[in-house]
Amino acid sequence: MFQILRYTSLLFLLLTFITPAIASKETLQQGWQAFNSNKRKEAKDLFVSAAKDADTKAEANLSLALVYWSEDKNKEAFAAFRNFYSSSSNPYPYLYALWTSPVIFEGYDKKNEEQLAFLQKLAAEPKANGTIAAMVHSMLGKHYEATGDFKMAENEYAQIGAISNWQVLGTFDNTSGSGFNKDFRVLQNPEPEAVFQNKVEADVKWFTPPHFRTDRWFDFNFYFLINSSIMYAQTFLKSDVEQEVFFRSGNSGSLKIWVNDKLVTNVPDERNCDLDVYTSNVKLNKGFNRVLVQVGESETNAANFMIRVTDKDGRVLKGITSVAEYQSYNKATEYTVTTSDLFAEEFFESKIKAEPENLLNYLLLADVYMRNDKV
């Protein structure tokens, strides 16, 4: 009899905890059903109810943020997102998905103190990966630049950690993307005395231009007529030790990157991408290492790139410097290059597999794809 009473008591306790959690999940699901039926007020009421329960607080607040955003209630959307951020165990993929929306930051030229304070706090967040940190410094830099505080802007941009010293060469024919795999003899000839024929059969050489963009993106548009063109940039990284690092890159156009003449990044599709979209492991030699970048334009109407040299978590590595002038280097020894998908893509693709009925994950994955032109 005692055993039966004990089991009954345990069952009662379990039901006491489980039943409200199930109810909150159902409330959240009902909220999305209402949202999907365009019943916005009903959806908000259900999300507010679900936000009162610890098990569904984070997702309910995130859902509220999206509903408020759809109604152009950006102040309420940000407040709901901040509640989500403080109650989520892993807010960073969601932060990435909504980064360019007013849910996070409404505008560089507006004095929104609450959103600015949120970004400044996020910049010092130790749990955020290096990609998030670089995004924050980029956005803060743009804010200070737009509001006339150029010293603060430069301080923020410098913390992105992008390679800034480049020589350039161009332009070569890329009609309808036809130049992506053509050999223009650039890989074999890094020296300053090398002479090439460009797409109008004029002799061209490597030259070192000023870096015009303050936001650390290297933009060929400042140096060439980029239409239907292949363009190159090279730099020489100095490493005090032989080491494995991670190259994180983003660009507009198609993209190839070689390190010590070994191809480490190969993206034939033309996209307008944000920073850190492509990641490859790279082995640097002790001393100087040649980095060669090829960008192709035929439909993006832009040709630029950013490369950061980081650890596995996306944090900028110290002690690696770059010079644009030619330096003697050793070619890469044989090793296997592996590429990594963007962390936010991996996260939401996994969430969709685990929760195929959850509309929220589809919406946010679509935002991630669209942000990097994966239409």
Distance of alpha carbon 355 from alpha carbon 360, whole angstroms: 10
Distance of alpha carbon 362 from alpha carbon 326, whole angstroms: 48
pLDDT band at 176 (very low <50, low <70, confident <90, very high): very high
- Which pLDDT score is estimated for 107? 75
Looking at the chain, the whole-number percentage of residues with pLDDT higher than 90 is 83
pLDDT band at 14 (very low <50, low <70, confident <90, very high): very low
271-320 tens-digit pLDDT? 999 999 999 999 999 999 999 999 999 999 999 999 999 999 999 999 99
| Residue 288 Cα distances to 116, 284, 324, angstroms | 40, 8, 11
The structure tokens listed for 281 are 């492991």
Residue 79 pLDDT exceeds 90? yes
Contacts of 331 (CB under 8 A, 6+ apart): 260, 261, 262
Residue 237 pLDDT exceeds 70? yes
Distance of alpha carbon 350 from alpha carbon 368, whole angstroms: 14
Q: Is 98 within 8 Å of 364 (Cβ atoms)? A: yes
Looking at residues 66-86, what average pLDDT do you find? Answer: 94
* 320: helix, strand or coil: strand
Looking at residues 19-48, what average pLDDT do you find? Answer: 84
Mean pLDDT in the chain? 92
Residue type (1 letter), 105: F
Q: Is 309 within 8 Å of 281 (Cβ atoms)? A: no
Q: Is 279 within 8 Å of 343 (Cβ atoms)? A: no
Write down the pTM of the prediction: 0.90
Q: Which of 255, 248, 292 is nearest to 270 (CA)?
A: 255
| Higher per-residue pLDDT: 232 or 358 | 232
Residue 24 pLDDT exceeds 50? yes
For the purposes of burial, counting CB atoms within 10 Å of the CB of 99, is it exposed (0-12), middle (13-18) or buried (19 or more)? buried
Looking at residues 54-70, what average pLDDT do you find? Answer: 93
Distance of alpha carbon 307 from alpha carbon 56, whole angstroms: 39
Residue 137 pLDDT exceeds 70? yes
Q: List the Cα angle 136/140/145 in 5-degree steps.
A: 150
* 287: helix, strand or coil: strand
Residue that has been written with the tokens 């690092």 in this structure: 245
Residue that has been written with the tokens 């070192």 in this structure: 208
**Greatest alpha-carbon span in the chain:** 98
Residue 363 pLDDT exceeds 70? yes
- Which pLDDT score is estimated for 212? 84
- Which pLDDT score is estimated for 108? 73
| Higher per-residue pLDDT: 310 or 106 | 310
Q: Is 368 within 8 Å of 350 (Cβ atoms)? A: no
Residue 322 pLDDT exceeds 50? yes
246-279 tens-digit pLDDT? 999 999 999 999 999 999 999 999 999 999 999 9
Range list of H helices, 112-258: 113-123, 130-146, 150-158
Distance of alpha carbon 71 from alpha carbon 276, whole angstroms: 31
pLDDT band at 21 (very low <50, low <70, confident <90, very high): low
- Which pLDDT score is estimated for 210? 86
- Which pLDDT score is estimated for 154? 97
Residue 367 pLDDT exceeds 50? yes
145-160 tens-digit pLDDT? 999 999 999 999 999 9
Residue 8 pLDDT exceeds 50? no
- Which pLDDT score is estimated for 11? 40
pLDDT band at 106 (very low <50, low <70, confident <90, very high): confident
Q: Which of 166, 181, 277, 270 is nearest to 227 (CA)?
A: 270
